Amino acid sequence: MISTENIQRLIAKSRDDNEILEMIYDCLNSFEQYHASIFKQMIWTEYGGYSSSRENYLEKVVEIDESRSSSHNSVIVSIDILNWLCEKNKIPLTFNASSYFVIL
């Protein structure tokens, strides 16, 4: 999970640095863009084929999937940036992948 508490700490520590605040905003915005790309893919996959030829439908599915993949990669980079800023400011990580995965 993303720690909103640690992001808030990071924002508070960076309140006098507009460049860092903008960087944090851009990182957080990437989460919303990724969410939107997932939703767009879901909607198109479910309903887009009704108004399209099979060929156009498949082309659009590939285009949307590539866009979603790009958004996903952007989120990964954003998490890396936020974690780097946290480390730099001695704040616990915003996202710790090792605590996220459970080994069975």
| Domain segments of the chain as ranges | 53-92
Amino acid, single-letter form, for residue 97: A
What per-residue confidence (pLDDT) applies to 79?
94
What per-residue confidence (pLDDT) applies to 97?
63
What per-residue confidence (pLDDT) applies to 58?
85
Distances from the Cα of 24 to the Cα of 37, 43, 53, 78, 79, angstroms: 20, 29, 42, 8, 10
Contacts of residue 22, defined as CB under 8 A and 6 or more positions apart, other chains included, come to: none
Amino acid, single-letter form, for residue 74: S
Distances from the Cα of 35 to the Cα of 65, 66, 84, angstroms: 13, 14, 23
What per-residue confidence (pLDDT) applies to 101?
45
What per-residue confidence (pLDDT) applies to 104?
38
Kindly list the averaged pLDDT for each block of 10 residues, start to end, along the chain of length 104: 91 96 97 95 82 82 94 95 96 75 42
Distance, in Å, from the CA atom of 67 to the CA atom of 48, rounded to the nearest integer, reads 16
